[in-house]
Amino acid sequence: MINRLNQLPPFQRAIAKAHLCSAGARYEDLDRPIVAVVNTWNEIVPGHAPLRELAEHVKRGIIQAGGTPLEFNTIAICDGITQGHCGMNYVLPSRELIADSVETMILSHDIFDGMVLLGSCDKIVPALMMAAARINLPSILVSAGPNVPEIKPRDSKAARQSFLRGEIDEKTLVAETLKYYPGPGICPYLGTANTMGMLTEAIGLALPGNGLVPAQSSLRFSLAEESGIQVVKLIKTGIFPKQILSKESFENAIKVLLAIGGSLNAVLHLLALAKEVEVDLTLEDFDRLSRVTPFLTAVVPNDQDYTVVDIHRAGGTPAVMKRLEPLLHTEIITVTGQTVRDNLLQVKEIGELIHSLESPLQPEGGLVVLYGSLAPDGALLKRSAISGTESRIEGVARVFNSEEECLAADNVSPEEILVVRYEGPAGGPGMRELHRVTEFLQVHGGKAILTDGRFSGASGGISAGYISPEAYAGGPIALVQNGDRLIIDLENRLLDLMVTPEELAVRRGGFVPVQKKASPLLQRYARRVSSANLGAIVID
């Protein structure tokens, strides 16, 4: 078995071993496969608070399988805490920081034979997947799992709206919210965190069950230990992320995303991950697959009675994939060392919450890609989160140049479509999630929201985001004026600004992008970040 540490030149090997022993390693253990335990634990993010304890179970598995674990940490940001203020500008850029920090630690030391990457939440899991792809050592992802709520999603939502209307005070809201988030673990709705946890399984980088096994359960601890054992097996058998991350595995992940009506942010992250392994993936792939992949299971925000814990009870990601099996690429390898088909042979029972292909909730996927005169390069909308059957929405624009401007608005008309711009990757900078804006819409009225920013996986209602090109780059969204007619046509996948080309040409002649103040880090990000339709990746 290859041990990278022992491949170093003799003197450097001896010095490296001396330093590792000084840090607490046993000399005899350094001839075993050395596995990096890449941890994103901190005391701030609920989904990451359990990872310190979970890492010990991972290490136990590594040692049991004959490896030597060495742990280090990197950062993790809580999307919930950063919602609605400038802290959100840092969340998407943190994806690149995390991936870069893991690359820096692994490749600078050049002693690791494999990695177990522990992360749970929104941008952290995609960053760890990107790092695994980029570094291409045998790797496996481990999540903390969701917490188990004591109340229904609709009860939590009602409490939040009561607070926004001034009917309950802060302490009451906190007490009610703690019934929904009763302890450490991932928030239990189908936001980006749980979506990406499920997609780690669907794409083949995590063991079956990784996404939704509840936090701090005996099954979660066992799964962590099994992941430690399995990564040593991957090192021995020579299975690497780039063997797993094929176009077929990306298509499997997209089909699961569509079948569950997962977070729109997953589109950004899958595009960015594909870039790491030079897989040709575009918005057109999501649109193509959304037309042939039915929507099979609805939990919050797509339904206010069920959470991701209910998907777990119905069989979890493996059960969703079993339902989708006729549509999946099943002969491709995963971190189990077996094919998708082999993995799905283990699925015996599927709960009623996960519908069959013959009896779907909707015949097409939960996400829709829109194009048109307002979004020449595309926009995204979560169809599964829209109540009712309305497929064509028309209204008049009410334009805001920031989230703050929108949240300060009053006298919103039922005919108005709120256009929130200069929240894109470069214009934000940082492409904030506008979850607070979707809550504002539900309380204060209006037909829909359109933005070049992002939406939280928890957002519902008629909201199309990720509009490309963004306003800062001179996209058509920058030219919208109050009172312009807008059309959202879900059936025909259209997002149109009903203004003549001649009038738009006049407006473009006077276009000057809004410049927002930003920190040096965000200024650098703005200069280098790509458009949302390309994954908002940092480019040279």
Please give the structure tokens belonging to residue 145: 């799992």
Catalytic residue among 456, 463, 468, 531: 456
Q: CA–CA distance from 263 to each of 257, 351, 383, 423 (Å)?
A: 8, 22, 11, 18
**Residue 79 to residue 88: CA distance in whole angstroms:** 7
Residue with tokens 């989230």: 403
CA 365 remoteness from chain centre: 17
Q: Is 94 a catalytic residue?
A: no
Q: Which residues pair with 69 in a beta bridge?
A: 35
The runs of H, that is alpha helices, within 368-418 are: 403-407
Q: For residue 38, which of 140, 133, 123, 144 has the smallest C-alpha distance?
A: 140
**Residue 335 to residue 138: CA distance in whole angstroms:** 9
Q: CA–CA distance from 479 to each of 379, 407, 451, 476, 498 (Å)?
A: 17, 21, 13, 5, 12
Q: Which residues pair with 139 in a beta bridge?
A: 115
SS3 assignment for 192-211: HHHHHHHHHHHHCCCCCCCC
Max distance between CA atoms of the chain, in angstroms, equals 76
- CA-based angle 238:240:245, to the nearest 5? 145
**Residue 88 to residue 80: CA distance in whole angstroms:** 9
For the CA atoms of 218, 222, 225, 226, the dihedral, rounded to the nearest 10 degrees, stands at -170
Q: Which residues pair with 117 in a beta bridge?
A: 38, 141
Q: CA–CA distance from 415 to each of 375, 427, 463, 521 (Å)?
A: 21, 27, 15, 39
**Residue 77 to residue 120: CA distance in whole angstroms:** 11
Q: List the catalytic residues.
A: 456
